[in-house]
Amino acid sequence: MTSLVDVPASAQTATRPSAPRRRRGQTLPFVLLLLGPSAVLILVFIVLPAVYGLWLSLTNTQLTGFAARDPKFVGLDNYTYLLTSADFLNSLGQTGTFLLFSAIIGQTVLGMVAAILLSRPWIRGKGFFGAAVLMPMVVPEVVASLTWASVLATSPEGTLNRVTNAFGGEPTAWLQTAPMLAIILVNIWRGLAFAMIMFQAALEDVPAELIEAARVDGARAVQVFRHVTLPLIRGPVFLYLLLTTISTVGVFGLVYFLTRGGPGGQTRIAAIYIYERALQFSQVGIGSAASIILLVIVLVLGAVYVRLAKVEV
């Protein structure tokens, strides 16, 4: 750090926003020092696993059995196995259902409702309601699952059962008879705050004059929303869809804690499938191939969203 003192005074006074170019020769060591460690660590702990995972997916690596001693390169065999495996395809299907209903529909709609309601000037208690909706998002995953374990409890005193009882329903073992529904509910609960936050910010950016103008023209609230607000917040909505897709596809603990992928593999979403294959069955090659497939799907979805968002802008 002593080299900093040596920068001549004349160079200092000449510094302007564009000036760094003049000192390019001297900035490089700074950049290396300040950013270098981060770059190296990111390379080793984030990029390298992805690359290594890709390599592993092309081998028959296992953690146990004879294959563990001597992993062989098997090319695309793992991929063909997975893409023709009913188990894996089921898992992808479940992930898709989970994603569609909890994130794309559930969180977005409810988050939007909350955002709209909390932006209404006539609502009292915004702070309280906002905090209430925020709670599920800020607690740790494991606690979120734990709270729902009680709600979904099988006995008649389970919270959900009491609610359905009030409407004349029978006590149900939710995690047995409707496991996918249960985890969708939990994920909606968990993620709607994030949607609300993003949409609140977006709604604020909608110029009030446009809304007033539409109102004056006689448009009802719903029409105002559809034709004025929605097009203007399209960008943030797609950004949200992208972000929630990424995070929902990566959900593991929330579901694993409650169901461990069961019963009978009905909630074995992709992340759980990968964990089971790679670590419980020690099939690292197959687990890595499944990971890559998952990654590709996320990238494709991301590209789709970006496309759709750009069309308007």
Nearest-angstrom CA–CA distance, 96 and 270: 9
DSSP for residue 105: I
- Tokens 């023209």 correspond to 217
| Binding test (CB under 8 A) with other proteins, winner from 22, 83, 150, 207 | 150
Q: Which of residues 100-139 bind other proteins (CB under 8 A)?
A: 110, 113-114, 117-118, 120-125, 128-129, 132-133, 135-136, 138-139
Q: What are the DSSP calls for 171-221, one per residue?
A: P--HHHH-HHHHHHHHHHHHHHHHHHHHHHHHHHTS-HHHHHHHHHTT--H
Whose CA is closest to 269, among 240, 298, 297, 249? 249
Q: Is 166 in the site for other proteins (CB under 8 A)?
A: no
Smallest gap from Cβ 217 to other proteins, in A, equals 15
13 binds other proteins (CB under 8 A): yes
User: Is residue 167 involved in binding other proteins (CB under 8 A)?
Assistant: no
Among 92, 110, 145, 95, which residue's Cα sits nearest to residue 254?
A: 145
**Residue of 101, 174, 189, 199 that binds other proteins (CB under 8 A):** 189
Residue 90 Cβ, how far from other proteins at the closest point, in Å? 10
Binding range to other proteins, per CB under 8 A, among 82-90, 100-108, 224-232, 304-312: 82-90
149 vs 308, which CB is nearer to other proteins? 149
Spacing of C-alpha 40 from chain mean position: 26
Q: Minimum distance between the CB of residue 75 and other proteins, rounded to whole angstroms?
A: 13
Min separation Cβ 57 and other proteins, Å: 9
- How far is it, in rounded angstroms, from Cα 226 to Cα 109? 14
| Residue 300 binds to other proteins (criterion: CB under 8 A) | no
Cβ neighbors of 106 (< 8 A, separation 6 or more) are 184, 187, 188, 191, 192
Q: Which of 76, 89, 279, 306 touches other proteins by CB under 8 A? A: 279
Q: Closer to other proteins by CB, 153 or 183: give it.
A: 153
